Chains A and B, each alone.
Chain A
Amino acid sequence: MIDLKELSLLSGKAAWMAYLDIYCLDADGALFDAALLSAIAAFSHLEIPVVSLNDDGKIVLISEEQVTAMSEGEPVNKEKRKLNKEKRKLTLKSIPLSLTCILHKNYILADPTLEEESIMETLITIVLDSSSQLVSLYKPGGPVLAYTSAIQDCVALTRQRVKQLQKILDEVISGMEVD
């Protein structure tokens, strides 16, 4: 999803390190889905300041003040311009979104709550990306064997879910841009 080259500053010398911390505040089933969605939302919101490497090899923030200081002889009592803190966003391609389904007897239940997860026989988590390509499929053992038909049903459910989630994400992101 992320092109790591976007995080590099000077090839072979300096790069950004991105830390992702996911905290679960209230667990009510399908934690993986929620965690993945929040991680993607966080990366969509991420804004990296524009910096450059100065002669001492130190990283400096490029800001309006510096620009005025560099052009000599400018009178200090200029009308104060808004400090332009350049920030750039990461370009995210093929965003992965997931759906967890639980299998119980011959029923498939999508997006279980904690109570439902406690009675399940096994679960399947499917991650698809925005071009409907399969990114990951996770079925952690369990006493039940899933028929291939069940897995295909889950994939179809995930496809629907991905469309919904994508819509919600787009709404929220465009809502933020307006601010």
Chain B
Amino acid sequence: MRQLRAQIGNVAKADGSSVFEMGNTKVIAAVYGPREVQNKSQQISDQALVRCEYSMANFSTGDRMRKLKGDRRSTEISLVIRQTMEACILTHLMPRSQIDIFVQVLQADGGTRSACINAATLALADAGIPMRDIVTSCSAGYLNSTPLLDLNYTEDSAGGPDVTLGILPKLDKVTLLQMDAKLPVDIFENVMQLAIEGCKAIANYIREVLLENTNQLEYRRGL
């Protein structure tokens, strides 16, 4: 597992924000909400509407890329993150409102999806949005007959399978499971187990960061 670093409250204007780093992959997330739905036709009368936008900075990968915002990969990952977070946000507590999650990749070195989900969790916690549990995510793979945890770009492009897993650690429930390439089922179970452990380790780290942040807030308030 690569080195983890996280900070909360970077974007002053957002209701919640965070910067999450896994090794060289660096992601910034900002959450706005719950607020009034901007497009009244999409309003849901008994739930909050969750929207998510994922984008990569031009300078995030090795070669500068000029991708438009609406390209397929961005849309797919936006959808994946939205569905993952929607599963854990208590949307029925905020009917007719909207929660926006914006995730921007500043540096991409493998595992951007996972870093985005972890950053989004921290940002949602910073915004004080009620959730069932934190969502943590980690990627795992299988190269040279060894299960690997938290792949970086070189390991990812080596052609082995790439499993991305998102779980609710305390409830022990899986909310996201994606894999490309082929893998025999028994090896898959090992790899998935490894990913679960990775997710739990990230969950511990996230809890520490949130606790530290709360202590800071208490201190500043003079409690």
Contacts and interface: CB of A to CB of B under 8 A. Distances in A.
A19 B57 CA distance: 13
A26 B12 contact: yes
A28 interface: yes
Interface range on chain A (Cβ under 8 Å from partner): under 10
Interface of B: 10-13, 28, 57-59, 64, 104, 106
23 contacts: A19-B58, A19-B59, A19-B64, A21-B57, A21-B58, A21-B59, A21-B64, A23-B57, A23-B59, A23-B104, A23-B106, A25-B10, A25-B11, A25-B28, A25-B104, A26-B10, A26-B11, A26-B12, A26-B13, A27-B13, A28-B12, A28-B13, A114-B13
A172 B11 CA distance: 24
Interface in A21-62: 21, 23, 25-28
A19 B59 CA distance: 9
Nearest to A28: B12
Given A21-B57, A23-B106, 16 more contacts: A19-B58, A19-B59, A19-B64, A21-B58, A21-B59, A21-B64, A23-B57, A23-B104, A25-B10, A25-B11, A25-B28, A25-B104, A26-B10, A27-B13, A28-B12, A114-B13
Interface of A: 19, 21, 23, 25-28, 114
Contacts of A23: 57, 59, 104, 106
A19 to B, nearest CB: 5
Contacts of B11: 25-26
Contacts of B57: 21, 23
Contacts of A26: 10-13
A1 B88 CA distance: 51
A23 B106 CA distance: 9
